[in-house]
């Protein structure tokens, strides 16, 4: 039986992370999993709640905040005995069957390195969590929030796959990191998340490297989860998160020399 680890990074998410952990433990799943919650900032309330409600959850305490990639990597490197690692944002609510569906997809195709579910807004509308690799133009649009000022830019709609129809398991360029199931053997070949990205773009970069090494990235629309999608870096222009978003966008430009859009052909 495959061994699964679930990784959630907490930044004082309060009631949100409680709903995420509750929905995770309500999953009907033939195997077992070990959940890791990383308190990236001090949160005694969540720590106490977990100890009382789900004592089997392993809580890690950071002395100082670390980036998303660094947090994920520390769990994987310190716990190499697992076959799969599920990244689960604290603002996600897993719908029934999500975990079993994702694991089944991985079992049926051993060349899938990354799989992710359909993410829904709380009103039931679909989030564009499956995307094409960003072109130089899209990176600039997104980094400078020009797409928020001018809706439905053709280049951005193409990037977000806004007009695509998904009826089953679909290979896509990349998936956002709110819910990602990662195969360990794929990570062993392509490497862990790039810690040079403190926040944002580490998911797109990982998926790019998956494709470059012959692994598939697949969107599984019949597996579903609600995602509150805080996205502070996209919604608050003068926030620290937006600074990280812009910084990481330019790191992507530098790392791929402006050619991330052709990553699958690299």
Q: What are the extents of the domains in the chain?
A: 4-132+165-228
> Which pLDDT belongs to residue 122?
94
User: pLDDT by residue (tens digit) across 94-114?
Assistant: 999 999 999 999 999 999 999
Say whether pLDDT at 250 is over 80.
no
Please indicate whether residue 155 or residue 242 has the higher confidence score (pLDDT). Answer: 155
Q: In this predicted structure, what is the pLDDT of residue 266?
A: 46
Q: What is the pLDDT at residue 265?
A: 53
178 touches 57 (CB < 8 A): no
Structure tokens at 117: 């579910």
CA–chain centroid gap for 30, Å, is 23
- Report the candidate in 178, 198, 196, 185 with the shortest Cα–Cα distance to residue 241: 198
Band (1; pLDDT cuts 50, 70, 90) = confident
Q: What is the model's pLDDT at position 243?
A: 63
Specify the CATH class of 4-132+165-228 in words: alpha beta
Query: What is the model's pTM?
Result: 0.91
Tokens of 177: 């990191």
Of 151 and 44, the one with more pLDDT? 44
User: Mean of the pLDDT values across residues 36-59?
Assistant: 97
Provide the strand spans (E) within the chain: 4-10, 33-39, 58-61, 84-88, 92-94, 112-120, 130-131, 170-171, 174-175, 179-183, 216-227
> Which residue did the predictor score with more confidence, 233 or 10?
10
The yes-or-no verdict on residue 19 having pLDDT over 90 is: yes
């Amino acid at each position: 039986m495959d061994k699964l680890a679930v990784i959630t990074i907490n930044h004082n998410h309060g009631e949100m992370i409680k709903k995420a952990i509750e929905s995770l433990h309500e999953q009907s799943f033939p195997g077992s999993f070990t959940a890791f919650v990383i308190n990236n900032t001090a949160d005694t309330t969540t720590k106490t709640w977990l100890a009382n409600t789900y004592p089997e959850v392993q809580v890690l305490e950071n002395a100082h905040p670390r980036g998303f990639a660094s947090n994920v990597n520390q769990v994987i490197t310190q716990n190499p005995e697992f076959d799969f690692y599920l990244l689960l944002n604290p603002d996600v609510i897993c719908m029934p069957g999500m975990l079993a569906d994702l694991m089944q997809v991985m079992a049926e195709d051993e060349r899938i390195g990354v799989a992710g579910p359909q993410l829904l807004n709380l009103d039931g509308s679909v989030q564009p969590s499956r995307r094409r690799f960003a072109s130089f133009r899209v990176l600039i649009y997104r980094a400078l929030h020009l797409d928020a000022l001018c809706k439905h830019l053709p280049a951005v709609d193409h990037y977000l796959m806004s007009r695509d129809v998904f009826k089953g398991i679909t290979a896509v360029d990349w998936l956002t990191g709110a819910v990602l199931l990662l195969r360990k053997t794929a990570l062993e070949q392509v490497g862990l998340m790039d810690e040079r990205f403190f926040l944002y773009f580490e998911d797109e970069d990982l998926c790019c490297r998956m494709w470059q090494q012959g692994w598939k990235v697949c969107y599984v629309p019949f597996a579903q989860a609600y995602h509150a999608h805080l996205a502070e870096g996209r919604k608050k222009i003068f926030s620290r998160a937006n600074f990280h978003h812009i910084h990481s966008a330019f790191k992507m430009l530098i790392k791929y020399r402006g050619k991330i859009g052709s990553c699958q052909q690299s």
